[in-house]
Amino acid sequence: MAGRRRRARLAVADALRFAVVIPARSARSVRQTGPAGQAAPTRLTGPARLTGLVGVVALALLTAACGTGTSTGGETAGSRAGPGGTITEAGSGLLDPLAVAWATAYHQQFADVTVTTASVGSGKGIALATAGKIDIGASDAYLSSGDLVKNQNLLNVPLAISAQTIIYNLPGMSQGSHVQLNGTVLAGIYDGTITTWNDPAIASLNQGLHLPDIKIVPIHRSDSSGDTFLFTSYLSTQDPNWNDAIGYGTTAAWPQVPRAKGANGSVNTMNDCEHTPGCVAYNGISYLSKALAGRLGEAALANSAGRYTLPTASAIRDSVGSFVSITPPNETISMIEGPSATGYPIINYEYAVVSTRQPNATKASMIRAFLKWVITTGNDASYVDRVGFQPLPAAVVSLGEAQIAEIGP
């Protein structure tokens, strides 16, 4: 049965190469609902293209391909049976503040279980989980079809809904004056075409806003990062030249740009921007309150309808709403620049990358119970609100529970 479920997941991943969201404006905003054999999230091996066939695969067929399966555990979100132990989690810096809160709360409720966390970047989290060196790899990026082919026991289970912010350091500018940016302008900044903050390309998007005549210092992640995956996906969707030349992935072949800097990790990205006048950087929403406290600004980003939005709770929810019904059983889906006219364009599921083959029944039971707790109790507003996340919709929780049930010895 486990083998049949694994083969079904691969069939779904392969089928998803033809599933796209019909755009709200032009064919250029078509979004695929799976990696579709494109550049693997764990690395960028060449130009990655975000093009696909227009159409939507019937989810009923995908569900049928997955089979019904049988549950391997009876854990519920509020109870846990069996011996305790330790669960190891590492990966996404974006998720880390919430992961720490979850780990603390879970240990308080179940004192015999300890959950350790480490912010090492999504790419390393995936690699460690793939190698069996940790129990859960946390990632902002979904597993690619190539990952699933090579590692047929791996799942990626959404834990919560997140977003990415674009921050900047413009001395003297009010934080209430949100500079408006789009993917084409950001691509020009990161490829060195746009070098000053008062460049006509930026000024044309911000009429009436006084932009300083200072040099731009673009900061990117130097490690393998889910944030880089999200950011380069947005650039690739909005700018064909970036898509053709650079593409998207957890790493990128960053153009050699004067003054550009690399930063290792989410905290260093924020700190470097805070201490660098003229900086622009991408970072997870879980660090936004600290960035604003450090006097950094927050950009409003162009969505698929051409509207400039901030990552407010309502804008994130509006974007997610377009994807809930087309989230496939294996929950591998890109939600960058969705069709919602009021939505924020860079949102994502935060994933737990976990193996269905655990060393023993005790470990499998602990992981199942913890993940079920995370996607239910752990999605309460008392947890997700503190980092700007949104809870998983009920339909996505159900898909997650079905995946979690596959975890066994």
31 — pLDDT class (breaks 50, 70, 90): very low
The mean of the pLDDT values for the chain is 84
Q: What is the pLDDT of residue 42?
A: 37
Q: What is the pLDDT of residue 302?
A: 97
Q: What is the pLDDT of residue 146?
A: 86
Neighbouring C-beta atoms of residue 389, cutoff 10 Å = 26
Query: What mean pLDDT comes out for the span 110-136?
Result: 96
Residue with the larger pLDDT of the pair 55 and 405: 405
Dump pLDDT digits (tens) for 260-303: 999 999 999 999 999 999 999 999 999 999 999 999 999 999 99
Full 3-state SS string of 237-300 = HHCHHHHHHCCCCCCCCCCCCCCCEEECCHHHHHHHHHCCCCEEEEEEHHHHHHHHHCCCEECE
CA geometry: angle 371, 85, 102, nearest 5 deg: 40
Assess contact for 205 and 139: CB atoms under 8 A.
no
Provide, rounded to the nearest whole percent, the portion of the chain with pLDDT above 70: 80
**Residue 41 region, left (φ>0) first, then alpha (ψ -120 to 50), else beta?**
alpha
Dump pLDDT digits (tens) for 211-270: 999 999 999 999 999 999 999 999 999 999 999 999 999 999 999 999 999 999 999 999
Assess contact for 300 and 175: CB atoms under 8 A.
no
Of 325, 326, 349, whose CA–CA distance to 336 is shortest?
349
Q: What is the pLDDT of residue 80?
A: 59
152: CB partners within 8 A, 6+ apart = 6, 7, 9, 10
Q: What is the pLDDT of residue 30?
A: 27
Of 332, 284, 268, 282, whose CA–CA distance to 92 is shortest?
284
- Measure the CA–CA gap between 107 and 111, rounded to whole angstroms: 5
pLDDT over 50 at 25, yes or no: no
Q: What is the pLDDT of residue 75?
A: 61
Q: What is the pLDDT of residue 378?
A: 98
pLDDT over 60 at 44, yes or no: no
Q: What is the pLDDT of residue 348?
A: 97
Residue 107 backbone dihedrals phi, psi, to 5 degrees: -65, -35
323 — pLDDT class (breaks 50, 70, 90): very high
For residue 168, what are the β-bridge partners?
Answer: 280, 297
Q: What is the pLDDT of residue 45?
A: 32
For strand 31-32 and strand 308-309, is the pairing parallel, antiparallel, or unpaired?
Answer: unpaired
Dump pLDDT digits (tens) for 150-207: 999 999 999 999 999 999 999 989 988 999 999 999 999 999 999 999 999 999 999 9
Assess contact for 300 and 308: CB atoms under 8 A.
yes
Dump pLDDT digits (tens) for 342-375: 999 999 999 999 999 999 999 999 999 999 999 9
Please state at what angle helix 122-130 crosses helix 226-238, rounded to 10 degrees: 120
pLDDT over 50 at 52, yes or no: no
| Run of H or E including 137 | strand 136-139
User: Among 33-47, 78-92, 130-144, 233-247, which is the least confidently predicted range?
Assistant: 33-47
Q: Which sign, positive or negative, has the C-alpha torsion 18, 22, 23, 28?
A: positive
By CB atoms closer than 10 A (0-12, 13-18, 19+), residue 15 is middle
Q: Which domains does the chain have, with CATH numbers?
A: 164-314 (3.40.190.10)
